[in-house]
Amino acid sequence: MIEKCLETSILLGIYETAIKLVSKNVEFVQKAGLSNQQWIILIHLAKDPNLPYLIREKHDKPMMASELADSLGVTRANITNLISVLMDKKLIKQIEDKSDRRIKRLVLTPKAEQLIKEMHPERMKSNIEHLKGLTTEEKKQFLSHLQKITLNIMNDKKVHA
């Protein structure tokens, strides 16, 4: 039988929280006609300074599809489909890399920039609501713990690769 384990309880708690956050976010982004993954791509291209991937991986240039796939943990084919949909919606466009014209980079259109700006107040209100009851210090500690767990998982993945 499965025994009670603190580490397992923590990780399953994170998993459950992630599922609930994704579910709640679906309601938020559907108002704008987006999926969660489409929204996450837009905030990557907007260079949201809160994204863990952008904190770890410095990006001076606009992102490439392969970088988005890496951050979202999806295949290149999946990211290509998501990019196509966002291009059809006139929310992103491809540009040539200045140093290597074979490389295509992705940027937001003015329409996407406006959409993100319009969605920002509701996003912030929701984020604050999700974290109510936590002090600023508790929030900082929680973020630190999440970052350590993520690094452990990433390092474990490299060891087993």
What are the phi and psi torsion angles at 63 (to 5°)? -75, 155
Domain 6-130 has CATH 3.40.50.150: no
Per-residue pLDDT of the chain (161 residues; tens, 9 = 90+): 999 999 999 999 999 999 999 999 998 899 999 999 999 999 999 999 999 999 888 888 999 999 999 999 999 999 999 999 999 999 999 999 888 889 999 999 999 999 999 999 999 999 999 999 999 999 999 999 999 999 999 887 665 65
Domain residue ranges of the chain, discontinuous segments joined by +: 6-130, 133-161
Alpha-carbon distance of 51 to 47, in angstroms, equals 8
Residue with tokens 């679906």: 26
Length of the chain: 161
Q: pTM here?
A: 0.89
- Grouping H, G, I as helix, E, B as strand and the rest as coil, residue 96 is strand
